[in-house]
Structure 1
Amino acid sequence: MVQYKIEINGRVQGVGFRYFVQKKADELNIKGWVKNTPRGSVEVMAQGDETDVDTFTDYLRMGPSMARVKNLSKTQMPDLENFSRFEVKY
């Protein structure tokens, strides 16, 4: 089990990105959250098996059809939080 903080930059707000992320997280049994940031990026906290998180990250690099991902940064977190599900934060 691993946990990563992921930040996605580009045209990622107003295009259904958070709901795309939630759908993919549910498909891959990823726990955590996603939210828009005031900077115009999307931030994700993702926890799951390493291979599932890698697959999840690949989906985030693509995003939904209206999104244009310019940059994605992924930082492994030293401690695991106790997430019970994946949620969209507002």
Structure 2
Amino acid sequence: MRVGGEAAGRQSGRPPAREAVTALIALYRNDQLGFHVEPTLENGLTEEELTEAITHPAFYAGRPDARGAAGQLKAVLASADGAPDN
């Protein structure tokens, strides 16, 4: 079995980047999220679905990491809208 790419998307029925975002939160790799959040949105995941993907691991990986991920999402969305991130 091949990991990543189309194979991962077919197995879950969702864009594979959602799983990457969730795994990065669980592994405390918020510094890597910026590379995955924007492509996840571009691949068709909605802002609401991505927010859920960030919120759910908070119960397992801890709130600080989920909050960091939420900040990354906010920054990406703000730059996509052309608004300054706060």
* TM-score by shorter chain over 0.5: no
Higher share of residues assigned helix:
2
Higher share of residues assigned strand:
1
TM-score bin, normalised by smaller chain: 0.3 to 0.5
TM-score (norm 1): 0.34
The answer to which structure, 1 or 2, has the higher relative contact order (CA under 8 A, 6+ apart) is: 1
From the CA coordinates, give the structure whose radius of gyration is larger. 2
